[in-house]
Structure 1
Amino acid sequence: MKAVTIKDVAKQAGVSIGTVSRVFNGYPDISESTRKRIFKIAKDVGYSPNLAARTLSSKRQKTIALIFNDLVYTPKTTMPMSILNGVYDYTQSKGIEFAFYAVTTQKQKQKSFEQFCSERNVSGVILQGLHVTDPYYEQLKTTKIPTVLIDMYVDNPYVGSVSTDNVAAAKDAVSSLIKSGRKNIDMMNGSYNATVSVWREQGYHEALEAAELPPNSSLIQYANYDEQIARLMAKQVIEQDSTIDAFFCASDLMALGVIKAAQELNKRIPEDIAVMGFDGIELGEYVTPSLSTVSQQPYQFGQEAGKLVMELIDKPTLDHVLIRHVPYKVITRESSD
C-alpha cells in the first residue's frame, strides 16, 4: 500500500502543501476552522507527520506531554503525582510547555500513538504505566517521536528509558533477607505484562542463585500490585507451606497485604515471616510493624524524564538507546529486622 503523504492531505483539503505544513508546525496565521479540518482529514487518511524532524526544524514553542496509561487513584501511594510534579517542575524551570493526558488500553486501540501526538502538536512524550500487551508498545518500536518511557524499555533510539535499576534493587533487597537468615523466600510479584515485574523477578532469581538457594516456581505469585489480592494469595501460600520465612514483594501495597495475611494467621513479623516491599511509600514508615522496602525517587524520575526527552528532541542519538537509572536505597525496618 502506498504511503499517505502531505500532498494527499493538501489535495483532499483543497489547500496548498505549504498550508498543511504550517498547520502541523503550529503557525498562528491559520484559521482554527482550517486547522481542525486539516487535522481531521489527516486522521481520516492515516497521515502522521514526522514529529521528530518537525521539532528539530521548527522554532516554535516546544511542548512535552506526560501520558499516564490506565491511571488508577490509590490513596496509599503518591508515586504518579510525584512523577507528574517532577516533569512539571522541570518544564517550568526551562520555559517548556507542559501537557498532561490519561489514556487507557481501549483508547490506544482507537487511535495510534502517532495520531494521538500529531493531533496535540507535541514535541516529545513521557509515558508511564504502559504494558507490553498495549498497542502503543508495539508502535513505539518504530516511532520517530521523541519519547521517554518510565519503568520500561523499547529497542528504538528515539525512545529513551528512566527507571530504578530494578534488577539490581530487587537482588539487593532479597540478598538482605538472605543475610538475615531467611532461606525459603516467596515473591509476591505484580503482573505478567509489566516490564518492571519481569526485572524485579530477575533480581529475585539472581539473589537466590548467588546464595545457592534452589529456585521454586511455586514461590512466585502475581497479585497485580493490589493489596487485597496479595493478602488473599499470601494467606493461601502460608497455609500451604509452613516453611516460608520471608516475602519479597514487588510493591509496598502488596507488602502491606502480606503483613495483614500473616497477622491474620497469627504469624509473628519478622520472627516467623519477614516482609520486604518495593517503592518506599511514606505510609510504610508508620504502619506496625514498619515496612522494610526499596526506596525509589519518583520525583527524580519525572525530572530525569524531562531532561532525557529534551535531549531526544534537540539532538537524538541514533546509534543506541538512552537509559537513565535513578538511585535507590534498601531500607531495613521492623518487618525484616
Structure 2
Amino acid sequence: MVTIKDVAAEAGVAISTVSKVLNGYDGVSPLTKEKVNSAVTRLGFTPNLVAAALSSKRSKRIALLLKLVVNNASMDEINMRYLFGAISSAMDNRLDAVTVFHETVRDMDEEALTAYLKSQSIEGVIIFGLNRDDSVLLKLIDSEAFKIVVVDSVITNRSTSSVAIDYASAQYDVIMRTFENIEGNRILYIAGKDSSYSTALKLEGLGRIEDEMKTKAKVVYGDYSELAARELTFKYAGKSDVIACGSDLMAIGAMRALMELDIFKPVCGFGGIKLMAYAGKQMNTVRQDFEALAREAVKRVRELLEGAEGASYTIGYDLVRVKYRDVLI
C-alpha cells in the first residue's frame, strides 16, 4: 500500500509538503506542487479522505452561534430556518459547519471563548442575534482572532462582515402601508429589546414617519414577547390609530388583545413567520428570508477566510400579509 511517506520520497520533498499540497494550502511553489502531483499519479496514491476531512485544515471549519429562546415558537422557526440555510450553504461551499449555542458559552470571558473555539479547530464564526449588551462577543469581534459575520447587525472591521436587511426602510414601508385608507396619525410602536441592533435601525424608520406625518409615536418595549405586547396593547391602544410591532409575535399579542377588547385597529408586524397566519386577522408584515440571510452569511465568511476584508451586505425583503392557506402543508 502506497503511503504519504512514499509520495514524499518519490517527489523529493518533506511529508509535510505533500500534506500541504493534498490539502490545498497556500505557500507551496507551482514547481513543488507539480512534483507532488506527478508522484501521486505515478505511484497511484489515494489519500485517506476521512483523515483529510479531520486534518488540520482549520480554515474550512465555521461555527454557527445561535441563541436559544425558551417557550418562543417564533424563535424556534427562525433558528431552524437559519440553520437550514447555513448548513446547506456550508455544504455547497465545502465548509464544515458546527452549531454552538450562546447559552453554552455565555459564562466564558473572551479568552476562554477564544480558546474554546480554537480547540474545535474553528476559524470562522457566524453570529446570529447579536445585541449591544453581548460584551464578550463584541470583544471577540474587536480582537479579530476569527473571521466573523454578524447577521442582523451592522458591525464591520477588517475581519468582520455584516449581513442584514435594510431595517429602517422596511419598518418605514410596512407602517406606511398599514396607514393606507386610515384616518389619523397616532402610532403605538411596540419595540423589541432596547439592546437590539435591529431595534435601533427600526426606530430610525419610525423617526422618518414621525417627521413626514408630523406626529410623535408612543414607543414602548415588549421584549419580543407576545404576552408583553398584549398587556401593552390593553394599556395604550385607546390612544392610537395604528399599532406597529417590531416582531410578528408581538403583533399577534397586540391583535389578540384588540380582539378581546372588541375593537379594530390595524396592526403590523415584522419577520414574516408562519404563526402570523393563525393570528385571527390578517396583518401587514415584513417578510425576512432567514434562509437567504444565513446562506449569504456563509458565503461572506468563506470570502473572509479566503482573504477578503470585512464589509456590510444587504439583502431584500417583502411586504406581505401571511394567509392561512399559504402555510397549509
TM range (shorter): 0.7 to 0.9
Q: How far off its partner does 1:155 sit?
A: 3.7
Q: How far off its partner does 1:61 sit?
A: 6.3
The aligned length equals 268
- Counterparts of 1:112 and 1:277 in 2: how far apart (Å)? 39
Aligned twin of 1:295: 287
Aligned twin of 1:257: 253
Aligned twin of 1:45: none
The 1:110/1:63 distance shift into structure 2, 3 A limit, reads: closer
Cα distance per residue 1:215-240 (max 9 Å; x no partner) = 24xx11111101001101111112xx
The 1:76/1:235 distance shift into structure 2, 3 A limit, reads: same
Q: Percent identity?
A: 23
CA contact (8 A) 1:66 1:126 kept: yes
Q: Which runs of 5+ in 2 are unaligned?
A: 1-15, 17-55, 324-329
1:266 pairs with 2:267: no
2:272 to 268, 271, 280: 280
Correspondences of 1:48-63 after superposition (within 5 Å): 62-63=60-61
What SS is found at the alignment partner of 2:188? strand
Correspondences of 1:7-18 after superposition (within 5 Å): none
Q: How far off its partner does 1:94 sit?
A: 2.5
The 1:75/1:254 distance shift into structure 2, 3 A limit, reads: same
Cα distance per residue 1:238-286 (max 9 Å; x no partner) = 2xxx331111100000000001111122212xxxx11000000112134
- Counterparts of 2:110 and 2:159 in 1: how far apart (Å)? 23
1:65 pairs with 2:57: no
The 1:61/1:196 distance shift into structure 2, 3 A limit, reads: closer
What SS is found at the alignment partner of 1:141? helix
Aligned twin of 1:34: none
Q: How far off its partner does 1:332 sit?
A: 4.4
- Counterparts of 1:85 and 1:125 in 2: how far apart (Å)? 16
1:92 pairs with 2:88: no
Cα distance per residue 1:79-132 (max 9 Å; x no partner) = 111011101001112222110010237424485442232121112110112221
The 1:333/1:243 distance shift into structure 2, 3 A limit, reads: farther
Aligned twin of 2:225: 226
- Counterparts of 1:71 and 1:116 in 2: how far apart (Å)? 23
The 1:108/1:215 distance shift into structure 2, 3 A limit, reads: farther
How much is the aligned-residue C-alpha RMSD, in angstroms? 2.5
Which structure would you say has the larger Rg?
Answer: 2
The 1:179/1:138 distance shift into structure 2, 3 A limit, reads: farther
Aligned twin of 2:165: 164
Give me the TM-score of the superposition, normalised by structure 1: 0.73
What SS is found at the alignment partner of 1:95? coil
What SS is found at the alignment partner of 2:234? helix
- Counterparts of 2:160 and 2:59 in 1: how far apart (Å)? 21
CA contact (8 A) 2:170 2:317 kept: yes
Q: Which runs of 5+ in 1 are unaligned?
A: 1-17, 19-57
The 1:113/1:262 distance shift into structure 2, 3 A limit, reads: same
2:243 to 240, 247, 257: 247
CA contact (8 A) 2:178 2:284 kept: no
Give me the TM-score of the superposition, normalised by structure 2: 0.75
- Which residue identity lines up with residue 90 of structure 2 in the other structure? T
- Which residue identity lines up with residue 119 of structure 2 in the other structure? E
What SS is found at the alignment partner of 2:150? strand
Aligned twin of 1:127: 127
Aligned twin of 1:196: 198
